[in-house]
Homo-oligomer: A and B are copies of this chain.
Amino acid sequence: MSFNEAFKAIADPTRRQILTLLRKGDLTAGEIASHFEMQKPSVSHHLKILKQADLVQDRRVGQHIYYSLNTTVFQDLMSWFYDFFDKGGKGS
């Protein structure tokens, strides 16, 4: 169930860019929003979708909310791709 959510989450270019930004280190919602033309509530919406897909985690530090990557789901998605090069298939 979260597998499909994750695939949908990474289908959006803005959300992929957010994930890419977070590779360099954790960022607050405001710092993330500052990289985009769109309004903050729109970015907040994208962050919510990434969070629901378990691709990011958030933690509050005072007024700020920091976002960080959660790479465990990336592993799951990657193994789906792997199977296309493993000719023997899942069951062999």
Contacts and interface: CB of A to CB of B under 8 A. Distances in A.
B16 A83 contact: no
Bin the interface of chain A by size.
20 to 34
Nearest to A21: B91
Contact of A85 (B13, B24, B74, B82): B74
Nearest to A77: B81
Contacts of A17: 92
Interface in A23-42: 23-24
Contact of A23 (B8, B20, B24, B84): B84
Interface string A32-75: 00000000000000000000000000000000000001010010
Contact of A89 (B23, B82, B84, B89): B23
